[in-house]
Structure 1
């Protein structure tokens, strides 16, 4: 995936206006949300830029780690090139059939998960598929906010 941009002034306020120990706070948030789905996590934070390292059990876990780190107020972009996915070779090919990649979407004013599902899948009732794919960054399907980035699983 590489580098993903985020809106720096939106997201969960982990720092309380103070960026000291930002890397540790982001690491704790990712590990809390993903548990054993991520291991050996390393986080660097430099003036809004986050770099992640470690191992993820799946591509979805890697994507979620990126979104959790990026949807933090004060973070402008996340580089996840340092996260490897279990079962992936150094060339990026997997030992099993590769999963279809998710796409990313930035919430706009007036969006609902149903509206996004209708646009992406042609069926508003598929909103729960989006919610489940983003449970770590969306606590309540009715509480999304403009600027928040989410995963859109492949149809």
Structure 2
């Protein structure tokens, strides 16, 4: 029953390709472990847990580690995106686009020029 409540969390874990994942139910508590690629992916999992169970759910215990703590996320540019839109997606503030630009000066020469297919580092703040 508790597994069904958190099925969206498990589905997201699969979509995000959480590594070393394990899910068990014991005494009405869903125990979830695994390793997310980045902190952003881990945050997405926690947001989904809170969506299903509230801010402090007692029927799930999750231990999610992060494989690469050197970056907040990695992002592949798609058509129509700007650094401002990408900054809004990851940081909630488009004005933080300069942080993304500075972290990617090896491939970006101008913050107003990005191309589909480029993989950008989204730095930790």
State if a TM-score over 0.5 links the two structures. Answer: no
More helix by share: 2
RCO higher in structure (CA 8 A, sep ≥6): 1
TM-score, length basis structure 2: 0.43
Which has the larger Rg?
2
TM-score, length basis structure 1: 0.35
